[in-house]
């Protein structure tokens, strides 16, 4: 998603600016993504598995 966002907002005209924008977007979203992944795997997934077994 960081790649697509950087492509839409910056474009490919200046690759240095594009790579910088891509890296900043990736690093900004990484902690949020890891937090959501942890919450889903620890809390939501077990509840869904229990529901599907019943």
Token pair in block for residue 39? 């919450």
Per-residue model confidence as pLDDT tens digits over 10-54: 999 999 999 999 999 999 999 999 999 999 999 999 999 999 998
The tokens of 44 are what? 């939501």
What span, in angstroms and rounded, lies between the C-alpha atoms of 24 and 19? 9
- Please check the confidence at residue 1 and state whether its pLDDT lies above 90: no
Q: Domain-by-domain residue ranges, the chain?
A: 2-53
pTM reported for the whole predicted model: 0.67
Cβ proximity of 18 and 9 under 8 Å? no
């Amino acid at each position: 998603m960081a790649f697509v966002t950087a492509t839409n907002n910056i474009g490919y005209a200046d690759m240095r600016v594009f790579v910088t924008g891509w890296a900043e977007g990736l690093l900004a979203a990484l902690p949020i993504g890891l937090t959501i992944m942890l919450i889903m795997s620890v809390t939501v997934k077990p509840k869904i598995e229990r529901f599907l077994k019943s």
